[in-house]
Amino acid sequence: MSIAPDRTDIRHDWTPAEVGALFQMPFSDLVHQAQTVHRAHFDANQVQLSTLLNIKTGACPEDCAYCPQSVRYDTGLEREALMDLDEVLTQARAARQRGATRFCMGAAWRSPKDKDLATVCEMVQGVKALGLETCATLGMVSTEQAQTLKNAGLDYYNHNLDTSEAYYKEIITTRTYDDRLETLSAVRAAGMKVCCGGIIGMGESLEDRMQLLVTLANLPTHPESVPINQLVPVAGTPLADQAPPDVFEFVRTIAVARILMPRSFVRLSAGREDMSDEMQALCFLVGANSIFYGEKLLTTPNPQSDRDRVLFTRLGITPMQEDAKENGVAESTCCDTPSQLTGSA
């Protein structure tokens, strides 16, 4: 079955008032609108699987208030130098074996040194040769560095805006929102796909969430991938004691992201370990169609693959295959049964 896409709803001129009105809709009406948009562009029962690997841990000079890897906070994390190529490839093979189609390598850097970038390029080439899509998140990159990564075969670059421009300075003081936007432009100029989203639950207001989504939707091209993270509060960071966001407010954020960016993959990202199955089901219902799959995010736990497999089976969700997602339009070429979520666990 193929679903005829309606391409007329791709817009880059959303106003804060319009987006604010979406957030205020009665919940059932918002769910209906988000589902309608979702089904116009995707198979609503398929979810894409990405696996994360932290290739360089801790000792980051930045002061991101949420991050366990900042050198400024004592989070008990052991710092680790850049991982060996062989170890990265071993982890990538395991991710592929479990059923992931994308492998995302993260490094706790403000920006990569050219020497390290050369090593990361070898990792990208090796992971791509395994038949996986490649993604990296290495901090700020110049246009030249972005081009180097593109030439090595990098498909996606992750670089989050995290929150609204107004709230950004409450969270990070060592770089600006414009620094972030510049890297996103460099990634686009190099011809890579953009993965860009934010974090909910850092004490931001509804207005900040709305402004973040307006900024993302009004970029010249929508990010192909939009990770919506729920803050994972980590002891030792300034945000350690943040209470989780209201479940319905979180689900509304996913729904509005789906409506504003109809063809993008909206990823239910960090924070799933603390979410009930019912909350995750609501997120899928309103258009989340990607997750991080595997027992670890970068440094914090993610649900066990077994738990995700059971949840997918209960919901009738199948993992998306490579050829089903090229245009963001499902062609129903995916696995027949949820049990085909492979894995040895």
- At its nearest, how many Å lie between ligand SAM and the CB of residue 231? 5
Position of tokens 């995010």? 297
Active site residue 67: yes
The three-point CA angle 196-202-203 to 5° equals: 130
Q: Identify residues 208-247 at the interface with ligand DTB (CB under 6 A).
A: 227, 229, 232
Position of tokens 């841990």? 57
Give the number of residues in contact with ligand SF4, rule: CB under 6 A.
9
The verdict on 69 binding ligand SF4 (CB under 6 A) reads yes
Catalytic residue, chosen from 252, 267, 272, 309, is 267
The verdict on 120 binding ligand SAM (CB under 6 A) reads no
Residue 231, contacted partner among ligand SF4, ligand SAM, ligand DTB, none, CB below 5-8 A by kind: ligand SAM
Catalytic residue, chosen from 98, 102, 195, 258, is 195
Of 108 and 190, CB closest to ligand SF4: 108
Catalytic residue, chosen from 96, 98, 135, 258, is 135
Of 234 and 330, CB closest to ligand SAM: 234
Active site residue 334: no
The verdict on 197 binding ligand DTB (CB under 6 A) reads yes
Residue 70, contacted partner among ligand DTB, ligand SAM, ligand SF4, none, CB below 5-8 A by kind: ligand SF4
Q: What is the binding site for ligand DTB (CB under 6 A)?
A: 52, 68, 104, 106, 137, 158, 160, 197, 227, 229, 232, 269-270, 297-300
